[in-house]
Amino acid sequence: MGITRATLITFANTLINNRGSTGTLGIAFDEVVEHMSQLDNPPIVSSTDLAITAGTARYSRPTACIKLLGIFDRGRQLRPISHHELNAYNITWRDDTGDPVAYYVEEDNADSVLLYPTPSTTSTGQWLHTQSSTDLPDHLAIYVLCSMIRRELAYPSDHQDKEMSAVWHKIEDIFAALAGLTEESKQ
């Protein structure tokens, strides 16, 4: 894809004269990528195959999925629906079968998704989601690098440097704008 997590950690530490901690730089990388994946318009979106089986309504989200953006069945987008809406529509909704038109994320288990109605045929669908990533496209890597360094220098430690952290924050803002990230992307 692009630049790896390990490369960015090494490069960030080099830029601050090896005064950083690879542990906190790694945490910073993970937090920035996680935050970007939660945005309304996330910069990195993935698609994963969904094997839809006749008679099976419950599916587990992909393991790397952070935010579910949608589900498709044979090219048709299923709409998200709440448990309350399903019960209002039909109290016996769990017994319905046919081509899925909606999906419900279980309230007590966000990793479990139910298709409604229960599929009556086997097909291949798609999960559309954001995911944690150890590789970044080039246009996001520089923004993430700047954010990692800013956080490392702001972190209370023997190498804390609030003034340089502020400088890196300004550089981070420039690369955020160049990457098309909005104000909501900054923490």
Distances (CA, A) of 57 to 95, 112, 118: 10, 10, 5
Same structural domain for residues 72 and 87?
A: yes
- Measured between alpha carbons, how far is 35 from 186 in angstroms, rounded to an integer? 9
Same structural domain for residues 126 and 55?
A: yes
- Measured between alpha carbons, how far is 31 from 147 in angstroms, rounded to an integer? 10
Same structural domain for residues 98 and 142?
A: no
Same structural domain for residues 126 and 71?
A: yes
53-65: pLDDT as tens digits: 999 999 999 888 8
Instruction: Match 């800013």 to its residue by tokens.
Output: 150
| Domain range enclosing 69 | 46-131
Same structural domain for residues 139 and 119?
A: no
123-164: pLDDT as tens digits: 999 999 987 777 888 888 999 999 999 999 998 988 899 999
